[in-house]
Amino acid sequence: MSKERSDNLVLFLSGRESNYPRNQMIIAALQNSYHTEVISSQRDDISRGSFYCIILQSIKCSIKALKGLIFSKYKFIFVGFFGQFILLFISSFTKVPMVFDFFVSAYDTLVFDRKLFKSNSIIAKLLYKLDFFCCNKAELILVDTKTQGNYFSDIFFIPKEKIKVLFVGCDEDLFHPIEINEDPDLVLYYSTYMPLHGVEIVIQAAKILENTSSIKFKLIGEGMGLQSALELANNLNTSNILFSPSIPLMLLPDEIAKATICLGGHFGNTAKAKRVIPGKIYQILAMRKAAIVGDTKANRELLTHGIDAWFCNLSDPNSLADGIKILHENQELRKQISEAGYQTFKSKASFKTLGITFESTIINQLFPRDNIQRK
């Protein structure tokens, strides 16, 4: 390897698959400026979120990277999503700067969001120490919203100047405007039935609209709260909701395109719901569809009520029902919001825009006076 190439070589590692949209975008941005070595996987079973698969993937990636780490041949290392275990494993073998995509906190997700462990449990304390170690070991940290970054800064004692915001975006090869017959009465919501999703709010809103409109709901997905949602719909005796099982990602764009209104969420009144922008919002905007979203600080970082999305109060089925009815009855407003939402996506969260943002963040933060030999 020539000295010029060695001086311009970076390493990308990730616990999740490299073809995960966020990892994919970051890899492309890195490759635009640097010779990039990618050590990751595209195995589908990692994408199902199994911690066992993530840990195993992290160990494999770390072992593969050891030789390069020991000889310090990289300009910097980017640890992508989900990279906590990788950063833990490799930190003893390198002194080059590390960038960490703190897209998901293991501690916050498993303890407070999914509530799998009590906050005072040994596991919870270990998860906190894992996140804390990674955040304080990295030279630069990426998060998906400013609101999330402020929260992480507070609980993990991270200097705010180390934190940079990079919106999530989506896979634009899949999610883009398509011509398909639209059902004028269809409202779509898809989720994995997590508490922050607030599916019960959607069901209650559907009941409110049941006897006053022709609106019908399609709920796609499966997950930990599905049974409770089915029981709620049964107890309310709803007749305007179709529950559908999960579908392959490649089939989701057609479902979005068929709907007149898409629910972006999050609608549950949880702490995390207020700090993140749901991935489905980016997908809906990218397909030029009218989105109804939860009124949160995070969503307001990207969107504006009545301009490029319609906002509703969290955990408020009446507010959600009102928003659905307004957009259902006002075709011109719905069209304006869908077009403005699409333009917002292109200007703030498209693959190209995020790539430019990421590239300038890395270069300006890590190498402000470095004359980089570009590819």
Q: What is the CATH number of the domain that holds 221?
A: 3.40.50.2000
Other CB atoms within 10 A of residue 179 CB: 6
Q: Tens-digit pLDDT profile for the chain (375 aa)?
A: 444 445 678 999 988 888 777 888 888 888 877 889 998 876 554 444 567 788 888 888 899 988 888 877 888 999 998 899 999 999 988 888 999 999 889 999 888 877 788 989 999 999 999 999 999 999 999 999 999 999 999 999 999 999 999 998 998 999 999 989 999 999 999 999 988 899 999 999 999 999 888 999 999 999 889 999 999 999 999 999 999 999 998 999 999 999 999 999 999 988 888 999 999 999 999 999 999 999 999 999 999 999 999 999 999 999 999 999 999 999 999 999 999 999 999 999 998 898 888 888 777 777 665 544 445
Considering the domain boundaries, does residue 374 fall inside one?
no
Of 264, 282, 253, give the one whose Cα is nearest residue 320. Answer: 264
- pTM, 2 dp: 0.89
Of 125, 7, 155, 131, give the one whose Cα is nearest residue 79. Answer: 131
Considering the domain boundaries, does residue 242 fall inside one?
yes
| Cis, bond preceding 328 (omega within 30 deg of 0) | no
Residues 141 and 194 in one domain: no
Considering the domain boundaries, does residue 175 fall inside one?
no
Considering the domain boundaries, does residue 371 fall inside one?
no
Q: Which residue has the tokens 């609209």?
A: 209
Q: Regarding beta strands 241-244 and 9-14, do their DSSP bridges make them parallel or antiparallel, or are they unpaired?
A: unpaired
pLDDT of residue 213: 84
Residues 12 and 145 in one domain: yes
Residues 358 and 336 in one domain: no
At a CB cut-off of 8 Å and minimum separation 6, what does 334 contact? 260, 261, 290, 327, 328
Phi, psi of 143 (to 5 degrees): -130, 170
Considering the domain boundaries, does residue 176 fall inside one?
no
Phi, psi of 81 (to 5 degrees): -70, 135
Residues 234 and 138 in one domain: no
Considering the domain boundaries, does residue 177 fall inside one?
no
129: helix, strand or coil: helix
Considering the domain boundaries, does residue 274 fall inside one?
yes
Residues 128 and 207 in one domain: no
Residues 204 and 255 in one domain: yes
Domain residue limits at 118: 3-169+350-366
Strands (E) in the chain, as ranges, are 9-14, 35-39, 77-80, 98-101, 140-143, 163-165, 186-190, 216-220, 241-244, 261-265, 290-294, 310-312
Number of domains in the chain: 2
Strand ranges of the sheet holding 35-39, from the earlier edge strand across to the other edge: 35-39, 9-14, 77-80, 98-101, 140-143, 163-165
Residues 356 and 344 in one domain: no
